[in-house]
Amino acid sequence: MSMRLATHVLMFVLVAATATPSAAFDFPHRKPGLWTISMSVDGAKGAMAATKMCIDAGTDAKMMQMGLQRQQNACEPPAIQGSGAVRTIDSVCHIAGATHKSHMVMTFTGDSAYHLDIATQISPPFAGHSGMHMTQDAQWAGPCPADMKPGDMMMGGMKFNVLNSTPMPQSHLTQAQIDAIMKAHQH
């Protein structure tokens, strides 16, 4: 995968990780505390390093609201279906001069785990790729450690608070920080 596509995937992953639906659209709530999130992208060299995120009910709702606002800037309203443990989300976004059509399936295991499967078609191709497939698995790991507060995320050895970040698609991360994260995620 090219660095350009990898950076684009990282931005998508950040949105997905911080905007996982929970309170809106009758999604199951996530248990407050520390969550470990692992992601993989087909075609990426090696697995991406796990991310840790501290949430509580208030920050979970705020992150959902922020994610929806971020998506409104570049995306059409998503089509959300399902009940119980499974939700499907179909979305169309216009990012970096390309149209991204995504089909997401979220499967919840109570309030302490979920699996997300995302298949995206990109037209015209972005960095030579006409699509991508990503999976994300998240699991509750216990209470937040003393050095993390709700909204804090540990990714690639760096800690930042997603509630204090600049709205996507602009990143509050510098290119050097993005490069460091991408390097940490490659094995």
pLDDT band at 170 (very low <50, low <70, confident <90, very high): very low
Model pTM score: 0.72
Q: Residue 8 has which token pair?
A: 């684009």
Q: Where are the domains of the chain?
A: 3-185
Chain segment 112-169, per-residue pLDDT in tens: 999 999 999 999 987 788 888 989 999 999 999 999 999 898 887 888 888 876 443 3
Give the helix/strand (H/E) hosting 54. Answer: strand 51-55
Chain segment 72-93, per-residue pLDDT in tens: 667 888 888 888 899 998 888 8
Q: Which of 140, 141, 149 is nearest to 109 (CA)?
A: 140
Chain segment 39-63, per-residue pLDDT in tens: 888 877 766 778 899 999 888 777 7
